[in-house]
Amino acid sequence: MPEQSPSLRTELQELMLVAVGAVPGALLRWQFEVLLQDRDVLVNVVGSLILGLLLGLPYRPRVQLLVGIGFCGSLTTFSSWMVSSVDLIYSGQTLAAFGLIGMTLGLGLGGAALGLWIGRRVYALAIKPSAPPR
Amino acid sequence: MILLSSSEVGFITDFSSYQALMVGLGAIPGAWLRLRVVNHFEPLVPRKHWGTFVVNLVAAFALGLVLGLERAGRCDSSAGSTALILLVGTGFFGSLSTFSTFAVEVLATLREHRWGEAVLLTAGSVIAGLLVAAAGFSLGLVDA
């Protein structure tokens, strides 16, 4: 078998990392949809918090692919949020639909900001001092 | 409700692990396609978030269609239909779209004081998302 080109190897590596993160992310979202029936508010807020946290820490491409693109990307969902809102509007619960939109937006952005803040604090307090000076 | 007997599928012993397999199998190409599309858009447009915007809208339309078809009674309550909805809806399109990246991208525009872009991205995503989800849902409800 001929040696794989570097780009194919990189792509396979990316696929593996994204897949390993995406499967538990999607399974958790599905289970929370079944158990909580909160129209994905919790998973969207928690996923945004984790992604914010990740961005506050030093950038690592592999962790970004595994946890950021794979896990957080699949744990959270834009499409179910929109479809749930449309479902509420179609069943005459327009106010609940706007509540769902506003709550997910507000808590999601707040979660991402909180995660980013925590990530930066952790980096500044625990990681940065031990790093060799430039 | 058993689609395949345990002897036929071997390691899958009960129905809920079969459902979990469907969600997981759908999630892998969904997340992978999202990465490819977002990376593809990166050099074309100055801001990466429009790639996320595109996959989110595509997924919102498709998931609306799935729900519309389900509501219209196009999908029976058999195990096969349930598995297909989990594979395509929850697994694939649920993972194709993402909220966390969207939230972080809006946060980034806010932190850089690009207020107009933050409002455009947020309002554009929500309004367009609702419209395409409604379009998909209505299309699913139409009597063919």
* Cβ distance of B106 and A109 shorter than 8 Å: yes
Nearest Cβ partner for A86 among B62, B64, B103: B64
Contact A79, B62 (CB under 8 A): yes
Confidence grade of residue B130 (pLDDT, cut at 50, 70, 90): very high
Between residues B15 and B82, the one the model is more confident about: B82
Tokens representing residue A42 in the block: 């919790």
Alpha-carbon span A70 to A26, nearest angstrom: 9
Residue of A nearest to B66 (CA): A83
Tokens representing residue A75 in the block: 């744990």
H-helix segments, chain A: 6-36, 41-56, 61-63, 73-75, 79-90, 94-122
Residue A3, phi-psi category: left (phi > 0), alpha (psi -120 to 50), beta (remainder):
beta
Tokens representing residue B143 in the block: 């009597």
**Three-state SS annotation for A32-59:** HHHHHCCCCHHHHHHHHHHHHHHHHCCC
Q: What is the pLDDT of residue B31?
A: 95
Q: What is the pLDDT of residue B13?
A: 45
Q: What is the mean pLDDT of residues A77-98?
A: 94
Confidence grade of residue B12 (pLDDT, cut at 50, 70, 90): very low
Q: What is the mean pLDDT of residues B20-45?
A: 86
Q: What is the pLDDT of residue A97?
A: 94
Q: What is the pLDDT of residue B15?
A: 55
A-chain residues near B29 (CB < 8 A): none
Q: What is the mean pLDDT of residues B17-31?
A: 93
- Judged by a CB distance cut-off of 8 A, whether residue A70 touches chain B is yes
Q: What is the pLDDT of residue A119?
A: 92
Q: What is the mean pLDDT of residues B81-101?
A: 92
pLDDT at A22 over 60: yes
Q: What percent of chain A has pLDDT over 90?
A: 64
Contact B86, B25 (CB under 8 A): no
Within its chain, how far is the Cα of A92 from the centroid? Answer: 31
Sign of CA dihedral B58, B63, B64, B69: positive
pTM given for the model: 0.85
- Please tell me the number of Cα atoms within 13 Å of B112 on its side-chain side: 11
The whole-angstrom distance between B8's CA and the closest CA on chain A is 24
Confidence grade of residue A23 (pLDDT, cut at 50, 70, 90): very high
- Angle, vertex CA A28, rays to CA A70 and CA B70, nearest 5: 100
Q: Element (H or E) spanning B34, and its range?
A: helix B15-41
- A3-7, A39-43, A89-93, A107-111: range with lowest mean pLDDT: A3-7
Answer yes or no: is the ipTM higher than 0.95. no
The structural domains of chain A, with segments of one domain joined by +, span: 9-121
